[in-house]
Structure 1
Amino acid sequence: MDFWIGLLESIAQTALSPVTAAFAVAAIGLNIHFGFTGLMNMGQAGFMLIGGYGFVIATMSGLGFLPAIIISVLASALFAVLLGIPTLKLRGDYLAIVTIGAAEIVRMVARLANLTPITGGPSGIQSPNFREEFNALAPLSEGRTTFLGMTYTNVGVDDWWSRIVAWGLVALFLLITWLLMRSPWGRVLRGIREDEDAMRSLGKNTFSYKMQALIIGGVMGGFGGILMSLPAAINPDGMGRPTTFNLWMIMLLGGAATILGPLLGAILFFVVRLVITSVAGEFVPASILNSQQTEQLAWVLIGVMLMLLVIFRPQGILGDKKELSFNV
């Protein structure tokens, strides 16, 4: 009984984690790219790296918190423009190959030893300094607070303030996405997703609309990178190819082209992984599976579930199958 109670507490903590929120934010941006526009962006982790490093480097250079946020947004938008100008005329697999290559270029540049004074090289940047101004903005008092059985410090590293801001951003971006997709602009995006040639014949500048979608979704990915860096560290390998894979699974699990799909997918992704590792660690003897093997088993089972999901319910949990019947 104690195990199951502890598991439920861990599930609640995981569901409310800032990391879960960071992936939800980045997945919302990816959903604008693929779900609503039909762009096969396999490089959302690159936007996270650009946004996270833009924020951290600006803060470490002595700029304030808000100027660092602005620089991060501008850096993510600039990366979207530079990536989009030569690639948005590509479709399907070709766009996927280019975007994943671009994300890898960003990661390898951040790893360069010559840029260690700026990016920290392969080790990244580890410092509490870029979090100090963030903590200073907290309206919460010092101390610890218990809510729904979870106890954290009000302001610190693993704190309530980070959770409030992270999930506030998730709510804000969900609202923005909902408003955009109900607007004429959002209807044009859906038209581009379903038949770009038809939209072009109606006089719509499809390249411009796709660029706008790439910028908006990329900026959201940049905010995901900021949230990932707030615990006082950012590392180029922490947002590499596996991150992009995880974001795609989150989006497909919850349902592409839905508003709440990325939110549900992010929570389920981390909760399912926690349940698998916890149950296997508790009931499978260490002689059969040690902790490292249990972690690997969790990823294997998640991969199998993704394959089953794509085969039997490609629209995801909340999705509509008609929303995925478009050419990419």
Structure 2
Amino acid sequence: MDLAAIFNSALGEILSPTTAAFALATIGLNIHFGYSGLLNFGQAGFMAVGAYAFAIFTMMVDPTATLGWPVWLSFLAAIVAAVIASVIFGLILGIPTLRLRGDYLAIVTIAAAEIIRFTVRTQDLTAITGGSQGLRGQDYKGDIDALNPLTGSTYGFGPWTATAYDTWVRIIAWSLVIVALVVVWLLMRSPWGRVIKGIREDEDAVRSLGKNVYSYKMQALVLGGVMGGLAGVMYVLPRAVQPDNFATTMTFYIWTALLLGGAATVFGPLIGSILFWVLLSLTGGILTGLQAIGAFGEMSGTQAGQLRFVIVGLALMALVVFRPQGILGNKKELSFHV
């Protein structure tokens, strides 16, 4: 078992585009649950909407060819398309459901995310969404690759060495994470943020003060959903768009990262996402290595690798029992009334 390779692979997840994408999605979920008290279990749906809108716009509209737009404007238009699609999905989801509370809202959001996944998988939409096979990365990565200012073959050092394309995607993804953190920090220090946190604690009291609780909830849902949509774009830039990547499991990963880092904190989603992917990679590598030397008997390497999710689940249970506020969270800040 090559422990050095396993640790290098785990450390590489600290700056990977996947970690950045999940950090961005977790920041959005933090706005929903941590600050607004909305039990959204459909963040993967927002990611799917953003990813498909970006890819489909780039492939089918292609402003560089049809309108003669420069590449940078075409890429920006695709990002805007992902944002608009996320806003529309947020409005469609929120208008009939935001009057629900607690478990009822959670059930509806899970169902909505699954509706999105099964819709893009349907055979009737294969020409647009690729059906169950998804969309090939080479069909929508042209613009961002053309914008890449890096001319070398590889960049970075040690476990953070990557190709020029991957390095460029990392720069964009982590820049968006930084912008999202700044936006959340500013918003939660503003009067809008104080109203949102008041709704989380007792929405009836906020309503008695003349505030439109429904409107504020909608704004929070859309804002967090937009971050989820952008996370979906960043998630598919290093890979293809596969509908099953946006299953409910992804939402549970995002929830795990949020609870690990600490809800209702600015940097909790970031710390939680990094730790989650580092630990997931580390445990997966160690378990696969132990299987290779016969530690699990007849168990296959794939089966041994799946044990990491058991370990992560047990760790999450222990975290909820012994430190429910997470690493950076404040227990007093998490007195939810949902």
Q: TM-score with structure 1 length normalisation?
A: 0.95
* Alignment match, 2:202: 195
Task: For residue 274 of structure 1, report the CA deviation from its aligned partner.
Answer: 1.5
Q: Which amino acid aligns with 2:175?
A: G
Q: Is 1:95 aligned to 2:105, yes or no?
A: yes
Question: Does the 8 Å contact 2:203/2:213 carry over to 1?
Answer: yes
Query: SS of the counterpart of 1:125?
Result: coil
* 142-151 or 307-316: bigger deviation: 142-151
| Match of residue 183 from structure 2 | 176
CA offsets 1:17-59 (integer angstroms, 9 cap, x no match): 1011111110100000000000000100000000000000000
| Aligned amino acid, residue 207 of structure 1 | Y
The worse-fitting range, judged by mean Cα deviation, of 266-275 and 208-217 is 266-275
Structure 1, 293-302 or 186-195: larger mean CA deviation: 293-302
From 279, 300, 318, the counterpart of 2:328:
318
Please state how far the C-alpha of 1:245 moved relative to its aligned partner: 0.7
- In 2, Cα distance between equivalents of 1:310 and 1:29: 21
**Amino acid across the alignment from 1:101:** A
Cα deviation for residue 150 of structure 1 reads 3.2
Structure 1 residue aligned with 2:233:
226
Aligned to 1:13: 12
Q: Is the 8 A contact 2:265 2:329 kept in 1?
A: yes
Corresponding residue for residue 211 of structure 1: 218
Tell me if the contact between 1:27 and 1:262 (Cα under 8 Å) persists in the aligned partners.
yes
1:293 aligns with 2:300: no
Q: Is the 8 A contact 2:285 2:305 kept in 1?
A: no
Q: Residue 114 of structure 1: which of 124, 129, 146 is its match?
A: 124
Query: Deviation at 1:4?
Result: 3.5
Query: Over aligned residue pairs, what C-alpha RMSD do you find?
Result: 1.4
Tell me if the contact between 1:194 and 1:325 (Cα under 8 Å) persists in the aligned partners: yes
More displaced, 302-311 or 275-284?
Answer: 275-284
The answer to whether the Cα contact below 8 Å between 1:130 and 1:232 also exists between their aligned partners in 2 is no
Aligned partners of 1:45 and 1:103 also within 8 Å: yes
> What is the alpha-carbon distance in structure 2 between the residues aligned to residue 95 and residue 205 of structure 1?
19
Shift of 1:8: 3.0
Aligned to 1:60: 59
Cα offsets for 1:224-277 (capped at 9, x unmatched): 110111124101111111001111111001101011111111111111112212
Partner of residue 124, structure 1: 134
Structure 1 distance, partners of 2:133, 2:302, is 23
SS at match of 2:266: coil
2:170 partner amino acid: R
Taking structure 2 as the reference length, the TM-score comes to 0.92
CA distance in 1, matches of 2:307, 2:222: 37
Paired residues of 2:7 and 2:282 also in contact (CA < 8 A): no
CA distance in 1, matches of 2:84, 2:285: 41
Q: Deviations over 1:154-188 (max 9, x none)?
A: 23xxx210111111111111111111111110011
Moved >4 Å (runs of 4+): none
Residues 1:301 and 1:232: Cα distance change in structure 2 (over 3 Å): closer
For 1:261, the equivalent position in structure 2 comes to: 268
Aligned to 1:48: 47
1:70 equivalenced with 2:69 (yes/no):
no
Percent identity reads 53
SS in 2 for 1:204: coil
Q: Which moved more, 1:28-37 or 1:119-128?
A: 119-128
Structure 2 residue identity aligned to 1:114: D
Contact 1:129 1:232 in 2 (8 A): no
Contact kept in structure 1, 2:261 and 2:268, CA below 8 Å:
yes
Determine helix, strand or coil for the equivalent of 1:233.
Answer: coil
Tell me the secondary structure at the aligned position of residue 42 of structure 1: coil
Give the AA of the match of 2:253: N
